[in-house]
Structure 1
């Protein structure tokens, strides 16, 4: 059963300008593994984290660096959640998160679907 969905769109040049103005944002928003990626990939991961927060219905108990967007060997993106963020997802009865990312023509987008057992 679908528990929630979320979508987010990021203007990549605006994202780059923001990070250039405030370089510490990289440490506040991304895990060390994510910080090594290209800006377009970071913008897509930022969109994924925002989309997850929308899926959850808000950011209470959610921390940016407890959400990592990793890639499987196939290249398929997925969330690696830790800490209170993982606990929030579990408390909401979410058993699976589906994520898709894209970036092209100066935009990055992410879509998240949360699944769980029927109540």
Structure 2
């Protein structure tokens, strides 16, 4: 059963200006495995994290590093969840997360669906 849906878009130029103005944002927002990617990929990952928070209806007790966007063997994006995010999902009975990300032209976007599958 679908538990939540979240979507987020990021203006690439604004994101790049923010990172250039405040370089400390990258280590604050992204896990070590995510750093070093092109700005459009970081923007899509930021959108993914925001979309997950929206799908859950909030992020109390969660840190940015608790949500790490990874690619599976086929190249599809997914989340590796840690700490507070994992605790929050368990507390809400969510056991599955689906993620889609894209960037084109001036925007990056992400779409997240959370589920309670009963597994």
When normalised by structure 2's length, the TM-score is 0.96
Match of 1:88 in 2: 88
Give the CA deviation at 1:61: 1.4
Match of 1:45 in 2: 45
Give the CA deviation at 1:85: 1.1
Match of 1:64 in 2: 64
Q: Write the distance in 2 (CA, Å) between the matches of 1:71 and 1:91.
A: 26
Q: Write the distance in 1 (CA, Å) between the matches of 2:110 and 2:88.
A: 20
Q: Write the distance in 2 (CA, Å) between the matches of 1:117 and 1:104.
A: 33
Please, which runs of 5 or more residues in structure 2 have no aligned partner? none
Q: Write the distance in 1 (CA, Å) between the matches of 2:98 and 2:90.
A: 15
1:1-119 pair list within 5 angstroms: 1-117=1-117
Give the CA deviation at 1:62: 1.4
Please, which runs of 5 or more residues in structure 1 have no aligned partner? none
SS in 1 for 2:62: coil
When normalised by structure 1's length, the TM-score is 0.96
Q: Count residues with an aligned counterpart.
A: 118
Moved over 4 A (4+): none
Give the CA deviation at 1:36: 1.6
